[in-house]
Chain A
Amino acid sequence: MRKRTLNRLQNLALMVLFITAVVQLSQIPLLSGDWANRFQAFLTHSTDSSGGQTANLSSVLSAVHIVVTGDSEYGRYVQLYAPADGPLFQQAGPLFQEALGSATEVGATADKTLQEALDTPGIYMDLTTELPLAVVAAWLGEETSYDRPVRAMALTTEEESAVLYLCSGDGSIFRYYTALPSSAVIDLSGGYPPNNGFFAFESNYATLAPYTVLTTETISVPLIQASLPAGYSSYNLLTSLDFNAHTGYRYQESSGTEVVMESPRTLRLSPDGTVTYDGSREAASSLYQVTSSSGSPSAVEALQSGIKLAAALTESTGASPLYLRSITETDAGFQLIFGYRCTNLPVVFSDGEAALTVTITGRAITAFVYRCQAYTITEENSALLPAAMAMAIASLHPGCSLSLAYVDGGAGTLSAFWLET
């Protein structure tokens, strides 16, 4: 009995001394590592908070133009190509989210109504590309039952609650009442004093598309360097695209293009960085399947699969990230077009082709064409035409918009240009 008691005391002492030794070891900086942090976290029950669920979608959408109108008579505040992680979008985005979520459609409205409403304190967001409203809502973290294409959105304060306007690329404008209090929009707009920003319709360049966002501020953008990333290799691409990297069913064409066949799909890898895929609707790999909660995938579900594919292509090769330029519903499914972006400006190829074109048929990605490219920012600035001169030249072509972009002719140093679209 006494022996048993002594034995138990010894065991207890061993356990206590061992635990105290481990605790003390974890507190010594020299000896602590990740295990120590986890141990400390376990003892203090602290938890790590992770980022939001919408981060994935926001990173694939282009930077937007934001126009903030305050009480001042001296113009508006304009930020061209505002990134989604920038402070202005971080404030404006949630307001559009609340407005869209609580929107009640009033109906179609005229340009004059919108232009008068834009004189009240408010926020205007030009998406720079037309997208389905469902995709825009998902990007903002909201759902909507309305279905229409959206190029731009505006929140105005001519009523007690903010009024939402949705503008399509064809010029149609729809008006919505929302539950968002106007005071929220006024509070934001009061924090951004004018910086020589304006719309085309209220300027001497009224021949431009009326809601073209313009500024006379000096714009400075750096030169960028284009190159084929070092990670562009058949092994990296075959692995990331769920092909057998060691397959024997491959050959090389006279142009140097490597053709890999895994019936019924084919992958072509060109030495210039072009990757072409042809497959069937019966996709073996989950990378090419579109997850859908119903029979036919929605635009958002199609986009999610496109994003997954884009990430596989860029991460495996070290190419620059892609952003969505358009998503179009076809008879058989969807077509997604992605482009590159650098310093928040779009990069366009001189031949007009896209960086990635994805064809979705039914519930599978059945084809894509990808141009692999990497862009790095240099120390020098682009020799950009002054904004006023660009506006004057563009206004000679009625109805066009003005935008900034890098033009990629293949490789080398790229400069930014004003483009008429």
Chain B
Amino acid sequence: METYRLKNIAILILLLLNAFLLTLLGYQHMQSRQSDSDTVEQLRVLFSGNQLSLADSVDPLQPVLSPMTLSRNTETEADMADMLLGGGAEGASQGGGIYSYTSAAGSLQFRSGGSFDSIQLSLPVTDISDFAISFCESFGYQDIDIQLAGSGGTVTAIQYVADVPILGCGLTLVFRDGSLTEVSGAHISLENAALSSEEQLTCVSALVRFLDYRSSAGIICSEVSSVSCIYYLVESSSTLTPVWQVETDTYTYLVDAASGDVSRL
């Protein structure tokens, strides 16, 4: 009986504690939202004070992506080579992290950083659009741009991961006389990728950095129309680095979320 009552008392204490903590967290959450709201307001005032307007659709509170260290996936590379070389491609390591796949249609070379290029390729293709779309859908490429001229043309696309585009992970397919003749691009795999917990610039900080850059570099723009966090592939270190893509009414700029460096796309 004593144990029963003690447990009831402990449950009551824990209930009160949870209620108190929940109230405290709720209060902190409200304060945080108020602080965020004030920050956004101050940012808009800062922008308007510098004759630069921030579109209403821009969400300065959007979260930043985390950097990722990638691992190579040779199986995916082999699958890509199979599709681009018409099947039956034989792979071989050339040393230095360079893999080469060869079939009767030509060769494809993959490097450790994710980039790939074709060598003397001639793969007959029945329907260029179907082929390109099928390849892109199979390997995560979106924003497909097909420019056809007769039996030839160019297809470009960019790889997405989790609905986030990756700069530097583009794809270019060149077709001539009904055959695929050139392939170049980069592809990454998220299998065994490791997230980094290093602190990155928030959207607000990135916009302030952009404002500083605009003043110091003397660039001309009057409106920031959109801001989004995307990835940039650093081939030399096989990492995905988050960058803030700032679209203005003149050019698009990138703010490195780690270093704060601003560059023009």
Contact = CB atoms under 8 A, between A and B. Distances in A.
A14 B10 contact: yes
Interface string A389-407: 0000000000000000000
Contact of B14 (A17, A29, A47, A98): A17
Given A90-B237, A179-B109, A101 B95 contact: yes
Interface string B94-128: 11111010000000010111010101000000000
Given A14-B14, A90-B236, A181-B109, A46 B197 contact: yes
Contacts of A3: 4
Nearest to B238: A94
B62 interface: no
A253 B134 CA distance: 82
Nearest to B184: A183
Nearest to A6: B4
A178 to B, nearest CB: 7
A91 B95 CA distance: 19
Contact of A94 (B21, B28, B113, B197): B113
B21 A10 contact: no
A115 interface: no
Contacts of B8: 10
Contacts, number: 100
B69 interface: yes
A20 to B, nearest CB: 6
**Which DSSP category, helix, strand, loop or mixed, fits chain B's interface?**
mixed
Given A6-B4, A10-B7, A28-B28, A179 B22 contact: no
B98 A98 contact: yes
A14 B11 contact: yes
A263 interface: no
A31 to B, nearest CB: 10
B95 A103 contact: yes
Contact of A101 (B10, B17, B97): B97
Interface string A45-61: 01111001000000000
Contacts of B117: 181, 183
Nearest to A10: B7
Nearest to A16: B14
Contacts of B10: 14
Interface in A143-167: 160
A21 B196 CA distance: 28
A18 interface: yes
Q: Which among A6, A28, A48, A102 has the highest number of chain B CB atoms within 10 Å?
A: A102
Contact of A99 (B14, B24, B96, B109): B96
B14 to A, nearest CB: 4
A37 B12 CA distance: 29
B47 to A, nearest CB: 29
A7 B7 CA distance: 9
A18 B11 CA distance: 9
B236 A98 contact: no
Interface string A5-30: 01100110110011011001101110
A113 B190 CA distance: 44
Contacts of B97: 97-98, 101
B235 interface: yes
Interface string A33-71: 000000001000011110010000000000000000000
B236 A180 contact: no
Q: Which among B14, B196, B197 has the highest number of chain A CB atoms within 10 Å?
A: B14
Contacts of B67: 49
Contacts of A99: 96
B262 to A, nearest CB: 15
A278 interface: no
Interface in A110-134: none
B169 to A, nearest CB: 15
B84 to A, nearest CB: 16
Given A27-B25, A102-B98, A179-B98, A17 B18 contact: yes
6 contacts: A7-B7, A14-B14, A47-B194, A101-B96, A101-B97, A179-B96
Given A3-B4, A49-B69, 16 more contacts: A10-B7, A10-B11, A41-B197, A48-B195, A91-B236, A93-B236, A94-B113, A94-B236, A94-B237, A97-B97, A98-B97, A100-B96, A101-B95, A102-B95, A102-B96, A179-B98
A-B interface, 9 closest residue pairs, ranked by CB to CB distance from nearest: A101-B96, A17-B14, A179-B94, A98-B96, A49-B194, A102-B96, A102-B95, A24-B21, A101-B95
